[in-house]
Amino acid sequence: MLGFFVFFIIFGYALSIWLNDPSILLIAVIVSVVQAFVSYFYSDKITLMTVRAREAKREEYLELHRLAENLSIAAGLPKPKIYVINDASPNAFATGRDPKNACLVVSRGLLDKLNKVELEGVVSHELAHIGNYDIRLMTIVVVLVGAIALASDWSLRMRFWGSDDDNNSSGIWILLGIALAILAPLSATLVQLAISRRREYLADATGALITRYPEGLASALEKISADKSATHLQNRAVSHLFIADPYKADRTKQVQQSWLQTVFSTHPPVAVRVARLRAMINNG
């Protein structure tokens, strides 16, 4: 995270010099702070509304509640609120700014298609995200990426539509400034995706430690990835939250991805995740 903040500061400083206008950085920071406030306190509610999740009543989903309670005790976390999505595709995610305000969301397909051990693996993975404060981390990262993209867009508009009175800027500096304004948002997005993939690996490992049975999560990942049910989710903006990307095809057999596929993915390849989990069994 420190590297991301440094990158943002350097980017804003460079734009201020290029445009000879320090207010660019100030405006971008103000907007990003407002966006961060809204995201921090209301992102969970917005997300639940986006996927049309409904609260899972205890009497209707008693086994799920008991499973979540037992795993929360093992993880040393408060039991999250539990929601269900009416979707045939098996998947799950967690949201909320901290463990006390966390929500666990599972699909009907997950409850119908996974056995108890596999379901424990998935729930422990999501509890790991909660315990590792991944939702808070990714909210900050998304805000920073958005602020960089916003500052970049403003700088390009001001440069091309602003006055031509500044004759002191050499051609090479103008070209460098344009290149920075174009490449910085792309670089920031790639950093965001890389952080997302690393946190998935960490949640896999932490979740396996909670259940002390990595095979449960490994089997669940294979089953989720191989499932052919079409998802009814209409918004791809939340796909990075799920334990497996709901819009990806079967990748359980794809051990190696191309470099380009990897860097533009929010999730690591399922085959690699499964291999790492089973390596924990062999090394244990």
Active centre residues (catalytic)? 126
Q: Look at strands 81-85 and 103-107 and give their pairing.
A: parallel
Cα-Cα-Cα-Cα dihedral sign, residues 84, 92, 104, 196: negative
3-class SS of residue 149: helix
Residue 265 parent element (H or E): none
Residue 45 to residue 41: CA distance in whole angstroms? 9
Alpha-helical segments (H) within the chain? 2-19, 23-50, 62-75, 108-113, 116-131, 134-161, 171-211, 214-226, 259-263, 270-283
Residue 240 among known ligand-binding residues: no
Other Cβ atoms closer than 10 A to 208:
24
Residue 63 among known ligand-binding residues: no
Residue 125 among known ligand-binding residues: yes
Both tokens of 124, joined, read 């422990």
Other Cβ atoms closer than 10 A to 69:
12
Residue 229 to residue 111: CA distance in whole angstroms? 14
Cα-Cα-Cα-Cα dihedral sign, residues 243, 245, 250, 256: negative
Both tokens of 120, joined, read 């424990």
- Pick out the residues of the known binding site for Zn(2+): 125, 129, 200
- Pick out the residues of the known binding site: 125, 129, 200
